[in-house]
Copies of this chain bind each other. A is one copy, B any other.
Amino acid sequence: MEIPDPAKERLLYLLKLLEKGGTLTLTSTHIESLTGWSRDSIRKDISYLAADIGSTSGYDVFALKNAIKKALHLDRKRKICIVGLGRLGSAYLNFSAFQYGDFELAAGFDANVNRVEILSSPVPLYPTYKMGEIIGWFSIEISLLCVPEDQAQSAADKLISAGIRGIVNFAPVILKAPPEIAVRNVYIIDDLRSLSIRIPSENN
């Protein structure tokens, strides 16, 4: 059964909460108070998991986490790469969670061959023109796109023709991509604005 997208988003958020918490069992009432979602909606979301995770005396947190990961296909490692090894890209190159977590950094790319040769890195680095073969070779699914704004679309085009399936875009550009390519925009100015509109004004 295909899980509807809003339910997927809720389950992902629930997974995050479960990963933070220290409890072993959890009732829908408890989840309701943590998330603000109705118990009916929570039960329905969890019913998509089709797993034996208890219910009358509460859900088994360990089983629930695993069932969510499985249902959302987060139970296998995915290989990622970084395109654009400027300050931000090279910061993520050395990000420790990419060395032991569910997202395994496999390669980095930059158009500047000199930079590719000089940078110290825990993974192999390649010039951009090698993207086509390397992405297929390593079965890389997702790329962080850390190039400057004016190179973002052309780098995305190259990634897409190399077979990438998802792009986390750090450039302030709305990328054109076919519908089967997942794109997520993470631009710090947008985050700052979202935060700003939640700061009460001084004169209140």
Given A91-B91, A201-B73, the answer on whether A195 and B182 have CB atoms closer than 8 Å is: yes
Given A141-B199, A198-B182, the answer on whether A193 and B91 have CB atoms closer than 8 Å is: no
Within 8 A of B (CB), among A62-96: 72-74, 78, 80, 86-88, 90-92, 94-95
Please tell me if A8 contacts chain B, counting CB pairs below 8 Å.
yes
Set of chain B residues within 8 Å of A141, measured between Cβ atoms: 199
Set of chain B residues within 8 Å of A182, measured between Cβ atoms: 195-196, 198-199
- A152 to nearest B CB, angstroms? 13
- A181 to nearest B CB, angstroms? 9
Set of chain B residues within 8 Å of A174, measured between Cβ atoms: 20
Set of chain B residues within 8 Å of A72, measured between Cβ atoms: 193, 196-197
Whether the Cβ atoms of A12 and B189 lie closer than 8 Å is no
Whether the Cβ atoms of B88 and A165 lie closer than 8 Å is no
Whether the Cβ atoms of A197 and B20 lie closer than 8 Å is no
Set of chain B residues within 8 Å of A97, measured between Cβ atoms: 172, 188-189
Whether the Cβ atoms of B91 and A197 lie closer than 8 Å is no
Please tell me if A36 contacts chain B, counting CB pairs below 8 Å.
no
Whether the Cβ atoms of A166 and B199 lie closer than 8 Å is yes
Please tell me if A24 contacts chain B, counting CB pairs below 8 Å.
no
Set of chain B residues within 8 Å of A86, measured between Cβ atoms: 91
The chain A residues found within 8 Å of chain B, CB to CB, are 5, 8-9, 12, 16, 20, 72-74, 78, 80, 86-88, 90-92, 94-95, 97, 101-103, 141-142, 144, 165-168, 172, 174, 180, 182-184, 186, 188-201
* Inter-chain pairs besides A72-B197, A168-B192, 15 sampled, C-beta below 8 Å: A5-B198, A9-B194, A74-B193, A78-B192, A87-B90, A87-B91, A90-B91, A91-B91, A92-B188, A97-B172, A97-B189, A103-B189, A166-B198, A168-B191, A182-B195
